[in-house]
Amino acid sequence: MSKPSNQSTKMANVRCECGEWSGVQCPWVGDREETRVVEFMPIQYRDSHSEAGNNGVYPQNGAVRIRVTHACADAMVAGDSSWVIDGGE
């Protein structure tokens, strides 16, 4: 019988959630360490959020936080920088 390993076993159990922003499900699944959290304002809330002077903070302001790959986070920020905040977590 072998001894239990002291090293943690990485499991591919996190799915990229960028589809909540793009509307297209991302096929990526992998380790949590390969992701980070971003916050974005859904399109349906942007007008009212602007009319309110962009007041409020997550989650009361309607923003959504999702865990995405580093590449997807970079694409989200580059493509929608007024409405996406990179949490870096």
Quick: pLDDT tens for 40-85: 999 998 998 888 887 777 888 889 999 999 999 999 999 999 999 9
Task: Sketch the domain layout of the chain as residue ranges.
Answer: 14-86
How many residues are given for the chain? 89
Supply the Cα-derived Rg of the chain in whole angstroms: 17
Task: Give CA–CA dist 84/39, Å, rounded.
Answer: 6
Let me know: does 20 contact 41? Beta carbons within 8 Å: no
Q: Identify the band that residue 24 occupies on the pLDDT scale cut at 50, 70 and 90.
A: very high
Q: Which helix (H) or strand (E) holds 49?
A: helix 43-51
Task: Give CA–CA dist 50/48, Å, rounded.
Answer: 5
